[in-house]
């Protein structure tokens, strides 16, 4: 049960980061033959990070908050090379 709570805390952190970043939530949509996950992609990543970090709801929340930002910066650095 505690692991589910940590995953939810991480997902909540990612959701709040999306709201703070754009001041809105982007819902999933089908665009040009591809599915764009919108805010749900960040929530899934946040839940995974929240589950993997230290066993505290606070660190799970902030892990989910920062997890998507870390992946975005890694992807942008990879694209620049």
- Where are the extended beta strands (E) located within the chain? 29-31, 34-36
Residue 12 pLDDT: 92
DSSP state of 24: S
Helices 57-80, 2-22: axis angle to 10 degrees equals 50
- What pLDDT was estimated at residue 9? 92
Angstrom distances, CA of residue 14 to CA of 31, 37, 59: 23, 13, 12
Q: What pLDDT is stored for residue 81 in this prediction?
A: 57
Walking along the chain (81 residues) 10 residues at a time, the average pLDDT comes out as: 88 89 88 88 88 86 84 67 57
The C-alpha atoms of residue 80 and residue 71 are separated, in whole angstroms, by 14
Q: What is the pLDDT of residue 30?
A: 92
């Amino acid at each position: 049960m505690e692991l589910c709570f940590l995953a939810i805390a991480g997902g909540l952190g990612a959701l709040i980061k999306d709201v703070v970043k754009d001041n809105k939530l982007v819902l999933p949509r089908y665009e040009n033959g591809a599915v764009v996950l919108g805010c749900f992609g960040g929530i899934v990543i946040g839940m995974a990070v929240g589950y993997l970090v230290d066993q505290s709801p606070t660190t799970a929340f902030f892990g989910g908050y920062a997890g998507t930002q870390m992946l975005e910066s890694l992807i942008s650095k990879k694209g620049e090379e």
